[in-house]
Structure 1
Amino acid sequence: MKTLTNSMLCTLIHLTKNQLETKRHEIAELSQYTTKVIRESYNSEVEELVTILEILHSFLKNQSSLEQPTRSTKK
């Protein structure tokens, strides 16, 4: 079995550090992409909920206006 020289060890350490930095960069890019996807999904859900709220508010307003004449005729 061959022994590793200091130069070989330094080279391996350097290559390992480069690979580690590459992986960290990839993880950072994935993290940014994931954050972007989550944000877009969240914004989409918020828009849907706002639309539903507006529809319900409109429905309630129409329902209330239909009940108004009924209440006034009872008095």
Structure 2
Amino acid sequence: MKTPLTNSMLCTLIHLTKNQLEAKRHEVSQLSQYTTKVIRESYNSEVEELVSIKDILEAELKLKDEPQQSLTSKKK
């Protein structure tokens, strides 16, 4: 035999469900913020590495270019 749900029981279930939904929304929000933070940190790290590589390559190019310029000026 089924026990019919009273209005009070239904209200309690609705209230509990709303609380669970709010808790889940908060968890998703926290995860979203954490994920965004991790992605941002990873992106910034990659950008820093690329900038360092670019600087090294530019310095290397400048070093290789300087002897050629001095040789060219000596030939004149």
- Give me the TM-score of the superposition, normalised by structure 2: 0.90
C-alpha distance in structure 1 between counterparts of 2:49 and 2:68, whole Å = 28
Q: Number of aligned pairs?
A: 75
Any unmatched runs of 5+ in structure 1?
none
**CA shift for structure 1 position 66:** 1.8
**CA shift for structure 1 position 73:** 4.2
Any unmatched runs of 5+ in structure 2?
none
Partner of 2:68: 67
C-alpha distance in structure 2 between counterparts of 1:53 and 1:25, whole Å = 41
**CA shift for structure 1 position 62:** 0.6
Partner of 2:18: 17
- Give me the TM-score of the superposition, normalised by structure 1: 0.91
C-alpha distance in structure 2 between counterparts of 1:52 and 1:46, whole Å = 10
C-alpha distance in structure 1 between counterparts of 2:74 and 2:15, whole Å = 88
Alpha-carbon displacement from aligned partner over 1:12-49 (angstroms, at most 9, x marks no partner): 00000000000001111111111111111111011101
Amino acid aligned to 1:27: V
1:1-75 to 2 correspondences below 5 Å: 1-75=2-76
C-alpha distance in structure 1 between counterparts of 2:7 and 2:75, whole Å = 99
